Amino acid sequence: MTVNNLMLCYQGKVILAPMVRVGTLPMRLLALDYGADIVYCEELIDIKMLQCKRVVNEVLDTIDFVAPNERVVFRTCDRERNKVVFQMGSADAERALAVAKLIENDVAGVDINMGCPKEYSTKGGMGAALLSDPDKIEKILSTLVKGICKPVTCKIRILPSLEDTLNLVKRIERTGVAAIAVHGRKKEERPQHPVHCDIIKAIAEAVSIPVIANGGSHDHIKVYSDLEAFRQETSASSVMVARAAMWNPSIFRKEGLQPLEKIMQEYIKYAVRYDNHYTNTKYCLCQMLREQLETPQGKKLHAAQSSQEICDAFELASFYEKTIAELAAKAATLQNDAQEEDDQAGDADVIKMAVKFDKRQYPPQITPKMCLLEWCRKEKLAQPVYETIQRPLDRLFCSVVTVSEHKYRSALWDKSKKLAEQAAAIVCLRSLGLPEGKLGDDAQSPRIHKRKVEERELWKDQENEKALPGGAPHKKPHLTPGTNNSAPDRP
């Protein structure tokens, strides 16, 4: 493991709290711009993260963790690398460790959510549900502290009694965590209930590690100077801000709050620059507008169905057009460079053609891969071997098929591994002058056609025998030796 020398310090910090749907990259960057020392991402569930692939996005200059459906689950960039804490929802120590290892080189710290009372978190035993299982808390945190080199923290709510709360935080401290964030409310309490500053203070006095006070947005934190007042009232080491920062991220600005119009425009610029999904951008802007949603601008925002329409509503149309054009030009340049590198790569022995597989051009259950496999069996050759890679830039695929020590591939990249392999098979078949099984091709895979005819005839004969008096008992058909009796390859 490589240790990051710039380890997070949790003493005397002002921190953007983890907020679902709010703590995405644009909000985190804006909070840093205005003076936040540390920013937490929104809670991300361990099972979902374990399905993701880490992708270097050269167009946006980001690191993306991408789900199988191509949705970006977590996006970060170099600007926040030493400031961002990844908050995870987990109820399993081994899963938590697997996720931490996946992301630890791209973040400054890892936090376990133990305070969220919402059903989406607690129903899997995560969030506030962990508060009733101290053994599991200890196992998760100890496993992470021992397993990664970045600081580990947790965020909790207070328990029904002070004694139970203090016993829990002392047990958490013994796991070796770097800090504890405390939302000073019980799990059944909501923002309208007063925050228990006295309980946070008792926690801070009971442990030797930094305590981060959270929950003061409603009654205590209105301007920057309130952050220090809240810290002193709770005797905490640092202060974590959620809703006050969601409403106006310039709460972290020592010089005072900035006008909301300016804040929203700067947020939109980050959202466009980093390709934030418009629905998330719209949601965050609505939280900022609050009571102004019924104004003409608020109504335009509410009606917006794209990032471009959001920009139009905030007089950023020219910025949007310029930024999108710059990103498109950068993508085109990178793609051309990648193509040139690909063409010049050490694959001079690979036979290439610019072809793509279109399943509409083939009969059902007939594919180029099937035709190539049948030909190899007929010629008593080794089965085709496919090697497929994904290009990080655009996440497209390219496959090279090896047949009889010769390599073949399409010069075109495809959107899936299966399509890329079929395209490689087409190149091989065409290079060898073999039928590829297309509709209307008189020469399409005679062996496959012959085999299917033989199978149909065998079934027909057996059905006829069963229909005769004293006919032979039903048996499974005996297929031609050496043929593939399993289900055919599908595109």
Question: Catalytic residue numbers?
Answer: 116
| Residue 90, phi then psi, degrees to nearest 5 | -155, 150
CA angle 219, 225, 231 (to 5 degrees): 65
Please answer whether residues 88 and 46 qualify as being in contact, where contact means their C-beta atoms are separated by less than 8 angstroms.
Answer: yes
Longest dimension (CA), the chain: 100
Nearest to 216 by CA among 235, 198, 243, 237: 243
Return contacts of 274-278, CB within 8 angstroms, 24+ apart: 274/25, 274/26, 274/29, 274/60, 274/62, 274/75, 274/77, 275/60, 275/327, 276/24, 276/25, 276/26, 276/307, 278/304, 278/305, 278/306, 278/307, 278/309, 278/310
* 152 beta partners: 110
Pairing of strands 238-241, 14-16: parallel
Q: How far apart, in whole angstroms, are the C-alpha atoms of residue 333 and residue 339? A: 10
C-alpha–C-alpha distance, residues 107 and 420, integer Å: 34
Residue 344 burial by CB count (10 A; 0-12/13-18/19+): exposed, middle or buried? Answer: exposed
User: Of the candidates 228, 288, 293, which has an alpha carbon nearest to the alpha carbon of residue 261?
Assistant: 288
Per-residue b or e along 166-199, where b marks 16 or more CB atoms closer than 10 Å to that residue's CB? bebbeebbebebbbbbbbbbbbebeeeeebbbeb
Rounded to 5°, angle at Cα 132 from 127 and 135: 95
Query: Which stretch of DSSP H or E encloses residue 287?
Result: helix 278-289
User: Are 341 and 391 within 8 A, CB to CB?
Assistant: no
SS3 160: coil
Evaluate whether 15 touches 36 at the Cβ level (below 8 Å): yes
Q: Which of 135, 129, 94 lies closest to 113, judged by CA?
A: 129
Measured at the CA of 364, the angle between CA 361 and CA 367, to 5 degrees, comes to: 65
